[in-house]
Amino acid sequence: MIDIKLIRENKELVKENIKKKFQDQKLPLVDEIEKLDIEYRDCKKKGDDLRALKNSKSAEIGALMREGKRDEANIVKEEVSKYGNEIVELGKREEELEAIIKEKMMTIPNIIDDSVPVGKDDSENVEVERFGEPLVPDYEIPYHADIITALKGLDKEASGRTSGNGFYYLMGDVARLSSAMLNYARDYMIDKNFIYCIPPFMIRSDVVNGVMSFAEMDAMMYKIEGEDLFLIGTSEHSMIGKFKDQMLKKEELPITMTSYSPCFRKEVGAHGIEERGIYRVHQFEKQEMIVICEPEESMEWYEKMWRFTVEIFRNLNIPVRQLECCSGDLADLKVKSCDIEAWSPRQQKYFEVGSCSTLGDAQARRLGIRIKGENGNYYAHTLNNTVLASTRALIAFLENNYNEDGSINIPEVLRPYMGGKEKIEIK
């Protein structure tokens, strides 16, 4: 949510930003909010003026009573009573306007950074840099579900019976490999001085509304029937929510945390759920990172964070690239975002394995996360980045470490988590 001062002082900037995001249907909202805000401030001023007048008249009543001017005092009492009724009515209208303005403001997209390329959708995202040589071996790389099945590591038939489409059983060495990758990612982030955390896997609606847009929530999150609780789609939501309504001390910043959680997603949309494999599923595990920092430090942290992910994947022998997200591909709360994509030697193309975003003060403004400053309090900046998402990282790992005989090489960084194994062999 942007600061309403932007609409008061520079509404053309807000409109231009909406156009860059190809959301022209929201343009009338800016004028609507401006008009409502004028009425709100006028209502508030009238209420404040009447309260001051009421206090003044109330003091006058006491003076008149002391002078024995009871009739005059009663007349003033009637005036004060009338002011009281007007104040109540103005207060009701003020609350009503405040709620309407907030609801409309929640749909206005955040102001994107000047460096963000303008484009309609993800097809216009821009490749920035590649890391590692995207090799294609001279032997065939099977589909990832076939690789895992050959290693006795996947049972989707059983998960279909227990849970339906979009779920899976990972077993044996493959399940251990998935956990090993997450554990390595966790320890890597701890070594980077991020505090490790296992957060709640369910959050309330006020936290959901604080960290994401309504459209995202509806497309992603599962609601617990009969409860004000949602299953998290990513742990950054409960991690940022941890600081809801908190006043942070400057000396405690930046706050850097890494979290493990299962993630649950509806995956509503054109892509659909993958029937045979594990690329697009309803449930997976993820190591995440978040940073809460001073506004002037957010871009510096943004650059650091996505590079951590790149280094992790390169240590797993997976070539990756950084893709700058264009304006039309940015969620409404984001200021700037990039995807990290891993190389698929089977498909001979890259696919998304994570994303890094800075959201400016949008989440902090919605959740009330402020910094206590010397010259007043102000909103913090929040960032998040995927360290490693289990299923997609596993696919990239298997394809890039696959041998012609069907075995899988285990890079040195993972061997301590795999009991010293250098390879996973077909049994």
Kind plus residue range of the DSSP H or E element containing 50: helix 27-66
Look at strands 370-373 and 247-249 and give their pairing.
parallel
**What is the per-residue pLDDT for 58?**
72
**Confidence band, pLDDT 50/70/90 cuts, at residue 96:** very high
**What is the per-residue pLDDT for 375?**
86
- In whole angstroms, give the CA distance from residue 310 to residue 306: 7
Residue 114 lies in a domain: no
**Confidence band, pLDDT 50/70/90 cuts, at residue 210:** very high
**What is the per-residue pLDDT for 178?**
98
CB 57 within 8 A of CB 79: yes
What percentage of the chain exceeds 90 in pLDDT? Answer: 83
217-226, 291-300, 329-338: range with lowest mean pLDDT? 217-226
Q: Of 63 and 184, which is predicted with more confidence?
A: 184
How far lies 140's CA from each of 137, 400, 408, in Å? Answer: 7, 12, 14
Residue 117 lies in a domain: no
Average pLDDT of the chain, as a whole number: 93
For 336, the 3-state DSSP assignment is strand
pLDDT over 90 at 117, yes or no: yes
| Domain at 19, CATH number | 1.10.287.40
- Among the listed residues 100, 105, 82, 116, the one whose alpha carbon sits nearest the alpha carbon of residue 29: 105
Q: What is the CA radius of gyration of the chain?
A: 28
Residue 111 lies in a domain: no
| Domain at 206, CATH number | 3.30.930.10
Sign of the Cα torsion 76, 81, 85, 87 reads positive
- In whole angstroms, give the CA distance from residue 283 to residue 390: 10
Q: Please confirm whether the linkage preceding 254 is cis (ω < 30° from 0).
A: yes
Let me know the angle formed at the C-alpha of 52 by 50 and 58, rounded to the nearest 5 degrees: 95
Backbone φ and ψ for 123, nearest 5 degrees, come out as -70, -15
Residue 112 lies in a domain: no
Q: What does the block give as tokens for 330? A: 């940015």
Residue 381 lies in a domain: yes
- In whole angstroms, give the CA distance from residue 309 to residue 321: 11
Burial tier of 292 (Cβ tally within 10 Å: 0-12, 13-18, 19+): buried
- Among the listed residues 173, 198, 186, the one whose alpha carbon sits nearest the alpha carbon of residue 387: 186
Range of 142's domain?
122-424
Kind plus residue range of the DSSP H or E element containing 114: none
Domain stops at, among 105, 136, 166: 105
The 10s digit of each residue's pLDDT in 260-290 is 999 999 976 546 666 789 999 999 999 999 9
Mean pLDDT on 99-122: 95
**What is the per-residue pLDDT for 142?**
96
167 and 247 co-located in one domain = yes
Q: What does the block give as tokens for 266? A: 């509806």
214 and 246 co-located in one domain = yes
**What is the per-residue pLDDT for 54?**
77
Q: Record the pTM.
A: 0.90
pLDDT over 60 at 89, yes or no: yes
pLDDT over 90 at 254, yes or no: yes
290 and 380 co-located in one domain = yes
Mean pLDDT on 294-298: 97
17 and 159 co-located in one domain = no
222 and 352 co-located in one domain = yes
Domain stops at, among 105, 137, 163: 105
Number of domains in the chain: 2
Mean pLDDT on 118-134: 96
76-85, 107-116, 242-251, 416-425: range with lowest mean pLDDT? 76-85
